[in-house]
Amino acid sequence: MTNVSLETINSPADLRTLDRDELKEIAVQLREFVLNSVSKTGGHLSSNLGTVELTIALHSVFDTPHDRIVWDVGHQSYPHKILTGRRERMSTLRQKDGISGFPRRCESEYDAFGTAHSSTSISAVLGMAVASRNTGTHRQHIAVIGDGAMTAGMAFEALNNAGVTPGINMLVVLNDNDMSISPPVGALNRYLARLLSGQFYAKAKNVGRAVLSHVPPMLELARRFEGHAKGLVSPATLFEELGFNYVGPIDGHDLDALVPTLENLKALGGLQFLHVVTRKGQGYKLAEADPVLYHGPGKFDPSIGIQKSTKPVRVTFTQVFGRWLCDMAATDERLVGITPAMREGSGMVEFEQTFPKRYFDVGIAEQHAVTFAAGLACEGQKPVVAIYSTFLQRGYDQLIHDVALQNLDVTFALDRAGIVGADGATHAGNYDIAYLRCIPNMVVATPSDENETRLLLSTCYRHAGPASVRYPRGAGVGADVQPGLEGVEVGKAVLRREGKGIAILAFGTLLAPALEAGERLDATVVDMRFVKPLDEQLLSQLVQTHQQFVTVEEAAIMGSGGSAVLEYFSAQALALPVLMLGLPDLFVDHGDQATILAELGLDADGIERAIRARFHA
């Protein structure tokens, strides 16, 4: 075997000069590089260790970037980035001005489509395939979709549409890394995959159809026999009925199975579906044993693995929610907890363990999650939907049509509101205030610290109608969280500091820097608590004694709490100057949360500076 080095692979074209044994050696080096790289920067690890061989096989068989590959979800694309000319930039992964943790069209010609939210790949690839057909361009179109992403209705909508779209080349690769829908793989499955993807099988099938077409009963019998025969070794029926030729399952870590199978499918063209089985964390025993822990780790030493810190750490907002959920469920048997595939991320592990019959993970299916909650509420249950702000966007029609329009009692706990840091613009929770406050019947709460989060969760849970509580990623200021389940009056703000001339109205966790700026400026500072309804009574009092107003929030300025204040002033025919501080009209890229907020002028210094510039304070 020739000595080969990952350092010589600067594009997929370099892979195509290697033989099978050399590809296997590159796989060993690539997996080691992924492990060492992510251990230094943090990022997604388990999923990327699992896609090493699959990535090599795809790029060695297909003529990328002419052929299109779309990764879904995009956090499994690190090996792809490394093999497509970004190896040296992996040290900047998810850092300011560095490369993204997801595919981005603006980053590389090999990133055919940006994918960070799941289940979009098949629709996008179908669009690309139709465009190629319409322009007479011969190319291959490949969607690599994880088994979790296949739980979303959008994926099946695309498969259904593809099945009736003539004249296209399209390969869907199901990366099944949970072993949840597959039998054990081995030599028999490898042989059958190569057989079912080969020209001989395809030609024999077509000849048989041509001959038997003159005897319709025999044709139908043969079709059924073929389906049942394939069904003996693979869950083919569903995908075959949708119009795809199903192949698999095969071992996604076996290049001797992957490469020839992909070559066969490439030669066949048309609608193909390849089912590969991979293992999260493959090749790194610690990640294999606990793929959840190693899903998105921070920096760590690969030789010893992730170690629990002995330093005292502040409680996170997610932990505050998880503890509240268990406490409230213990007092109210009507409470039902719902998550769209984010049990750990949303802090629901303890709830699932304590109240398993009241816990529902519906998969990556946000639309279903919202309407499922609506159905529960119709029958007197009290659903709490724990969902990231960015993912509730995917259930917006259901939020309006199924929940708010019927004024149903559903509580939305919106994690990752505002700047999310390393995940960047695709996951930023910048828009929930704007898209929620325009919906009739909806309460929008913006707690300022950990204890306020618990208070407002209890408040919104007891509110007889749809309500949302938004809170950011990570820890807050370290406020003591009181154990009770009492709430506050809906729509009532809290005066945190009395000053002169200027009133700073803070919505959410930017209250802390607002208070610091208020001290320097001797300004009044209010914790607004609610964007909707506003505390109009307090506002009417403040306009009697203050000449300038400032709104501060970690959310898009357009349609924000500041907009709500301006709308109130306009309705009262008040011509008062209002400085609105928040997130600008642009997609905020990845980087450290605190650094980003400072650069946007949303730390104490920035708030003070903006107020002095505007009001000459």
Catalytic residue list contains 266: no
Catalytic annotation, pick one of 86, 94, 280, 437? 280
Helix then strand then coil, % of the chain, to nearest 5: 45, 15, 40
Q: What is the DSSP letter of 498?
A: -
Catalytic annotation, pick one of 53, 240, 366, 452? 366
Question: Could you give the CA distance from residue 481 to residue 137 in angstroms, rounded to a whole number?
Answer: 61
Question: Could you give the CA distance from residue 488 to residue 477 in angstroms, rounded to a whole number?
Answer: 21
Query: Would you call the peptide bond into 312 cis, given omega within 30 degrees of 0 as the criterion?
Result: no
8 Å CB contact between 48 and 76: yes
8 Å CB contact between 379 and 356: no
Catalytic annotation, pick one of 81, 394, 416, 532? 394
Question: Could you give the CA distance from residue 475 to residue 325 in angstroms, rounded to a whole number?
Answer: 18
Question: Could you give the CA distance from residue 516 to residue 607 in angstroms, rounded to a whole number?
Answer: 9
8 Å CB contact between 91 and 37: yes
Question: Could you give the CA distance from residue 126 to residue 599 in angstroms, rounded to a whole number?
Answer: 40
Tell me how far CA of residue 595 lies from CA of 305, 419, 429, 450, 606, in angstroms.
28, 10, 17, 21, 12
Strand order in the sheet with 467-470: 359-361, 335-339, 382-388, 411-415, 467-470, 443-445, 530-532
Catalytic residue list contains 394: yes
- Report which residue type is found at 332: D
Query: Would you call the peptide bond into 249 cis, given omega within 30 degrees of 0 as the criterion?
Result: yes
Rg, Å, the chain Cα set: 27
C-alpha 406, offset from chain centre: 28
Within 279-409, where are the H helices?
Answer: 285-289, 317-331, 349-354, 366-378, 389-392, 396-398
Catalytic residue list contains 280: yes
What is the set of active-site residues?
A: 280, 366, 394
